[in-house]
A and B are shown apart, each in its own frame.
Chain A
Amino acid sequence: MGPLIPLNIIDPSWNYVIALVIGLFFGFILESSGFSSSRKMAGVFYGYDFIVLKVFFTAAITSAVGLFYFKYLGWIDMSLIYINPTFVTSTIVGGVIMGLGFVMGGYCPGTSYCSAAIGKLDAMIFSVGMLVGVFIFGEFYPLLEEMYMAIPLGDAMVYDALGISAGWFLVILIVVAVGAFYVASLVQEKVKEVDY
């Protein structure tokens, strides 16, 4: 029965050890997949390398499918899983800013740690930049609070919002992802290879 720690099956004092181990694998997988190279990642926007799309979608689908099978099998209590609350405005605004940051910097927070760990100086600068960004947010939080709290939908689920069942939504997601992978492979053949 899971999740193990919220249900006290594993003692919460193990929490940080587990965090460390999961982080270890997280870093290993990201780095091994090539998420430690900003130019490799930025390739998704210019069509010369679709690694971000492939890894990201495969991961989301694998865990979503696994999670819903676990739920069906009664192995996991979904009500104890943390679900990021939906605040429409702030998520869109934040997403747009992050999108710009992604194109400019070529990293996202997790991958910047990865790249910094193997010695990429730009990734280290990026990480420092993130600290500054968070600090700016902290300082201007009172001004942003209204936008930050706008349109709260709570733990909204995407399939509820679309009015279909989770199963059908997953099927659609899988088909879209497979289609995207296929299109990506076609595009990649056409685009001039970039050496990095």
Chain B
Amino acid sequence: MDRSKKYWNPYFGGMMLGLLLLLSMYITGRGLGASGAVKSTVVTAVDVVAPKHAENSTFYSRFLSDGKNPLNEWLVFEAIGLIAGAFLSGALAGRLKLKVEHSPKITTKTRLIMASLGGIAFGFGSQVARGCTSGAALSGMATLALAGFIAMMAIFGTAFASAYFFRKFWI
């Protein structure tokens, strides 16, 4: 076991994450989220490139109506913090390294294509479901909201069901 394998006990990590979620709800009244920042970025980008289009679209205009900069949002700051925190942890554990992680059975190129496809699917899905694994599933489950449990079961159910077809990309 080299230094890079020094991960936390997963239950300890889960517990800390749970306590952080609790703290977040206690202070701000909301759970954690990640895909909201993506949405804000896209809305800003569309607004900058094609303001007319953004104004006419029912989707973008919802986030632009009050004249606020959509980047100036809670979840965006949280995402910035998230990146910084992950960097810090990686630096402390000696895991900072530019690389593409993939199964030895596939090429780097395949892995990157799969990653981009996965990213597109996740970005699209998170908008459809009004939140991603952290925003909809995790925060939803913590408040015992129905949406959280439906999202969790849909995400992991599909992933388990389709895992067989994607096995060569991982093992």
Contact = CB atoms under 8 A, between A and B. Distances in A.
Direct contact between A and B in the complex (CB less than 8 angstroms)?
yes
Interface of A: 2-6, 10, 15-16, 18-34, 36-39, 42-43, 45-46, 48, 50-51, 54-64, 66-68, 70, 75-76, 78, 80-88, 90-110, 112-123, 125-139, 141-142, 144-145, 147-148, 153, 155-161, 166, 169-170, 181, 194, 196
A86 B154 CA distance: 14
Contact of B38 (A34, A82, A109): A109
Contacts of A46: 163, 167, 170-171
Contact of A145 (B58, B60, B102, B136): B58
B42 A131 contact: yes
A133 B25 contact: no
A84 B122 contact: no
Given A107-B118, A108-B133, A63 B22 contact: yes
A88 B149 CA distance: 11
Interface of B: 7-8, 10-11, 13-32, 34-35, 38-39, 41-43, 45-46, 57-60, 74-75, 77-91, 93, 95-103, 111-112, 114-163, 166-167, 169-171
A13 B136 CA distance: 26
17 contacts: A22-B27, A27-B82, A27-B85, A32-B93, A57-B14, A62-B18, A70-B26, A88-B150, A94-B130, A96-B154, A101-B121, A102-B155, A105-B117, A121-B100, A125-B112, A137-B127, A157-B144
B80 A20 contact: yes
A135 B43 CA distance: 8
B150 A67 contact: no
Nearest to B112: A125
A39 B171 CA distance: 9
B123 A66 contact: no
Contacts of A80: 29
A39 B77 CA distance: 28
A58 B89 contact: no
Contact of B133 (A16, A109, A137): A109
Contacts of A148: 128
Most buried by B among A66, A117, A128: A117
Contact of A87 (B60, B83, B130, B132): B130
Contacts of B140: 83-84
Contact of B14 (A62, A100, A102, A170): A62
Contact of B19 (A66, A96, A100, A106): A66
Given A26-B81, A42-B170, A94-B129, A107 B115 contact: yes
A77 to B, nearest CB: 9
A19 B78 CA distance: 5
B141 to A, nearest CB: 4
A97 B153 contact: no
B119 A127 contact: yes
Contacts of A133: 119-127
B152 to A, nearest CB: 8
A95 B18 contact: no
A106 B125 CA distance: 15
Nearest to A148: B128
A94 B151 contact: yes
A136 B128 CA distance: 11
Contacts of A170: 144
A134 B127 CA distance: 7
A43 B170 CA distance: 8
